[in-house]
Amino acid sequence: MKIKLVMLVSIFAFGLALNANAGAVVDGDSDLVPDAFDNCTALANGPGEDSNQVDTDQDGYGNACDADYGFTGTGGDFLITTGDFPVFLDAFTGATPNLATDHNGDGLTTTADFSTFLAQFQGTQNLGPGLACAGVTVPCLP
């Protein structure tokens, strides 16, 4: 009985020591993806969401929070401008489908996606934040 108790206390103490050294994992948007690996820390886009970490243009900002469609070339200019509007409009009308304009991950470009574009275009929602390399290198992958 004493040996079992000693073993149990030892295992508990060892586990406590490991936990103390591990540090906290920050997940600001509670999407089950730690912020260090999350390409959209402002909005939930984890395993429980349709937009699960999708980053069509690989710029480090996930589609859920990226209305820069890269109209100036691969990866874009990291700015939401009037040049992005025709890209969204073409995808919205079905003229030129574009996965980058699907912000909620349902496979379509709809009015729900337009609200994300409009919020970023008007400056009420910032681009990203994304991965540490977002806005610096393309491709930017975790």
Per-residue pLDDT of the chain (142 residues; tens, 9 = 90+): 555 544 444 454 454 444 455 678 999 999 999 999 999 998 899 998 888 999 988 888 899 989 888 754 444 567 788 888 999 999 999 999 899 999 999 999 999 999 989 988 887 667 678 899 887 888 888 8
3-state secondary structure of 63: helix
Q: How many CB atoms lie within 10 A of CB 119?
A: 16
Counting the structural domains of the chain, the total is 1
Whether residue 113 is contained in a domain is answered as yes
**Is the residue at 15 inside a domain?**
no
Cα(106)–Cα(98) distance, rounded to whole angstroms?
A: 13
Residues 9 and 93 sit within 8 Å (Cβ to Cβ): no
Residue range(s) defining the domain that contains residue 87: 26-121
What is the value of pTM for the model shown? 0.74
